[in-house]
Amino acid sequence: MSDPQNWRAHRLVAENLSVARGGLAVLEGIDLNLASGAALVLRGVNGIGKTSLLRTLAGLQPPFVGVLQVPPEDLTYAGHADGLKSVLSVQENLSFWAQVAGQTGTGRAMAAMDLTTLAHRRAADLSAGQKRRLGLARLLVTGRWLWLLDEPTVSLDSASAALFVSVLRAHLGQGGSAVIASHIDLGLPEAEVMELTRYRALHDAPSRGGFDEAFT
Amino acid sequence: MSLWEYANPARFMRLTERMLPVLGALAVLTVLMGVIWGFFFTPDDYKQGSTAKILYIHVPSATMAVSAWFMMLAGSLIWLVRRHHVSALAAKAAAPVGMVLTLIGLVTGAIWGQPMWGTWWAWDPRLTSFLILFLFYLGYIALWEAIEDPDTAADLTSVLCIVGSVFAVLSRYAVNFWNQGLHQGASLSLDEKENVSDVFWIPLVIAIVGFGLMFATLVLVRTRTEIRLRRASALMSRQRRA
Amino acid sequence: MKALLIRDLTLAFRAGGGFGLALAFFLLVAVIVPLGVGPLTEILGRIAPGILWVGALLACLLSLDRMFALDYEDGSLDLLATSPMPMEGVVGVKALAHWLVTGLPLTALSPLLGLMLNLPGPGYPWLILSLLLGTPALSIIGAFGAALVVGVKRGGLLLSLLVLPLYLPTLIFGAEVVRRGALGLPVQTPLLLLAAITAGSLGLLPYAAAAAIRICLR
Amino acid sequence: MPDLGKYAFTVLSAYGATIVLLAALIAVTWVQSRRAKSRLAEIEVSSETGSV
């Protein structure tokens, strides 16, 4: 179970990991070793496979090749969509995800992401930036060790982005970890940066199912 | 060398390349032999008159329509357990063939029943079951068509095929149950094979074997088509990335 | 699990949630059929069991495509899949929520529609019992169908094509219970078979549906 | 041609329907096979390095 007391022992390990999209490897030979309290920023042009890699780490898709070790049930994923229900209020959305994660209490998360004054507003009536902040507040209420974030600062203004980075830093300080796909510089100098271009799968990397061989 | 190595697409293509002409010729030969024998050289049935000649197309196509579904089930299971792409593609290839054979079974069954029932369609349990089987084929094919990613489509159609098989069997019994007492005796049972004598039986068996060979030929040709298309799209996505 | 059930029910009852649509549709079927068939009470009474069951089945079908598609579009399904909640449980809860907002109210409304269709007196308890036993199967089978088409855009029609054949055994036994009940015949056999289908579907289909969703999310 | 008696139309229409359906299936299978063959040939040529 997720108790920050145990986080110090957690580790995300990947060996020779390949990631596929549509049955074709897009990234290969990735080795990861993420300790407690560390953050990793994934860089690379659009379409290189950042999202596929994050979804693989999240366990949503199986590794194409390689071994992946993640502490079970101690991660949370934030994709492009925030998983919000527009007819539910900020408070209702947040407490739902807290309960799903087996946690209680949403006050701290709302305060951290500056949502307290919006608590009873319906998600439908939030601006894009406010929605994103709500989506990121969800990370806090789940109380998981590893955050897998796909472009977390999209549609955030610079003040909100800075707020998010401070929240992220607090998470790391507690022993939490994060893998973040991001175009822009987050202002998180302590994070290790991984340039994915180096791992781009070669043109003739094998695809699934043995359709690489000509038939005649 | 194990049987599973034929699950490699290139090896499968090479093997079937050699097999197909022989198989196709055998299929044409036996189908023609069974059907011509049945149509021209069997006497009329004492009860059903010349309509008994429909037997030689109805029974083989109905038999193969059901067998085709079982083949798809086997293909789906092999795909889910061993992830052999040829197996999934063979299941996909068999579906339209099975569907047309089901349709033939339905049409010939309805035509056969017409003189007995005085109507072109009666909710005879057997016909109804085949109508339901036809719906299952439709759904299976539609699901293949609807999903873009081929591996996802193979997975989902396999799950549908397994669950569908259970429900198809349930429907078969449900329909028998539902219909009991509605046509009591008045209906023509298409299942009076017990008193069929050798005169009818031998050409019928030949026709069934022929339809089986024809089914195998068509499925092989269609599987080869699917494999080619898969390789073509694999090459395409490689080109797009280069 | 409880949180998910409460959220789904809340969503169904809030504006735009679609609660009541299925009921209205069910009512509509009971109005349309006599208008098409003619007002002869004797004929209506004879076909009432079938109409009520077909109506309930179509009403269930109506709201199926929302079951997972909405959660898929807004990203909730990804988040649920990475949460500690097992996907089988998610499917089960979703089907339960669907049953609570369609199957159960349909069952409650059915005697009224039976009245309108002149269902013979002895049929009423069997109508309620058969719907109570059979509609959970409709919800869980529907959840399986909805799971298959989660990733398909505009999957509504495809969903009907996939789910309707799977509904047939339930329909046949359910309507048979009511028909026999209305005629005062013994209903034990179809009732037991209906219960068996429901129990089997509830026991096995959540696994198939969860597998389908995991495949769709890849 | 055997004497089909009063059921001639029934029997012949059953055979006719079967032949039409089977012919359609075989035709579709054949056309699809041809198309796949030429499509693949085209792509194989345009990606000379494609085959490993």
The ipTM (two decimal places) reads 0.91
Q: Name the band, by pLDDT with cuts 50, 70 and 90, for residue B2.
A: low
Chain B contact present for C155, CB below 8 A? yes
**DSSP one-letter code for D42:** H
Number of structural domains (chain B) is 1
The verdict on a CB contact (< 8 Å) between A213 and D51 is yes
Domain holding B71, by residue range, is 62-181+201-229
Per the CB < 8 Å rule, is B111 touching D10? Answer: yes
**Would the CB atoms of D11 and B50 count as touching at under 8 Å?**
yes
Domain-located, residue B30: no
Which single residue is written with the structure tokens 């085959």? D51
% of chain B surpassing 90 pLDDT? 60
Q: For residue B240, is it within any domain?
A: no
Question: What do you get for the CA distance between the two ends of chain D, in Å?
Answer: 58
Question: What is the band of B45 on the pLDDT scale with cuts at 50, 70, 90?
Answer: confident
**Among candidates C161, C164, C208 on the partner chain, residue whose Cβ is nearest the Cβ of B163:** C208
Identify the pLDDT of residue B187.
38
CA angle D23, D26, D27 (to 5 degrees): 80
Per the listing, tokens 């109210």 go with C105
B-D CB pairs within 8 A amount to 100
Tell how many helices (H) and how many strands (E) occur in chain C.
Answer: 10, 0
Q: Residue A2: its pLDDT value, please?
A: 59
| pTM (2 d.p.) | 0.92
Closest Cα to residue A209, out of B154, B95, D50, B68?
B154
C-alpha distance from B155 to closest chain C C-alpha (Å): 7
Please, are residues B43 and B110 in contact by the beta-carbon 8 Å criterion?
no
CB within 8 Å: D44 and A212: no
- Stretch among B155-164, C60-69, D15-24 having the lowest mean pLDDT: C60-69
Question: Is the per-residue pLDDT at B123 higher than 90?
Answer: no
What integer is the mean pLDDT of B94-100?
A: 97
Whether residue A214 and residue D44 make contact (CB cut-off 8 A), yes or no, is yes
Size of interface B-C (CB pairs under 8 A): 72
Q: Are A197 and A45 in contact (CB under 8 A)?
A: yes
Q: Which residues of B touch C218 (CB under 8 A)?
A: 152
Question: Which residues have CB under 8 Å from C7's CB, separation 6+?
Answer: A85, A88, A92, A96
Q: Indicate whether B8 belongs to any domain.
A: no
If one compares B160 and A191, the residue with the highest pLDDT of the two is B160
Distance from CA of B25 to the nearest CA of A (A): 23
Question: If DSSP codes are grouped into helix, strand and coil, which group holds residue A20?
Answer: strand
Q: With beta carbons under 8 A apart, name residues in chain C contacting B142.
A: 158, 161-162
C residues 173..202 contacting B (CB < 8 A) = 173, 176, 189-190, 193, 197
Q: Which residues of B touch C144 (CB under 8 A)?
A: 163
Q: What's residue B188's pLDDT?
A: 42
Q: C151 to chain A, minimum CA–CA distance in Å?
A: 14
Nearest Cα of chain A lies from the Cα of D38 at a distance, in angstroms, of 13
Tell me if B177 and C166 make a contact (CB, 8 A cut-off).
no
| Domain membership flag for residue B148 | yes
Q: Judge contact between C145 and B146, C-beta under 8 A.
A: no
Q: How does residue A9 score in pLDDT terms, banded at 50, 70 and 90?
A: confident
Q: Is residue B22 part of a domain?
A: no
Q: Do chains C and D touch (3 or more CB pairs under 8 A)?
A: no
Q: Please report the pLDDT score of residue D3 as a whole number.
A: 72
CB contact under 8 A, C79 and A97: yes
Q: Which residues of chain C, if any, have pLDDT below 50? A: none
CB pair distance less than 8 Å for A61 and C81: no
Each residue's pLDDT tens digit, C19-46: 788 899 999 999 999 999 998 989 999 9
What does the alpha-carbon distance between residue A101 and residue A97 come to, in Å, rounded to a whole number?
A: 6
Q: In C, residues 38-97, which contact B (CB 8 Å cutoff)?
A: none
For the stretch B54-77, pLDDT in tens is 889 999 999 999 999 999 999 999
Contact D29 B225 (CB under 8 A): yes
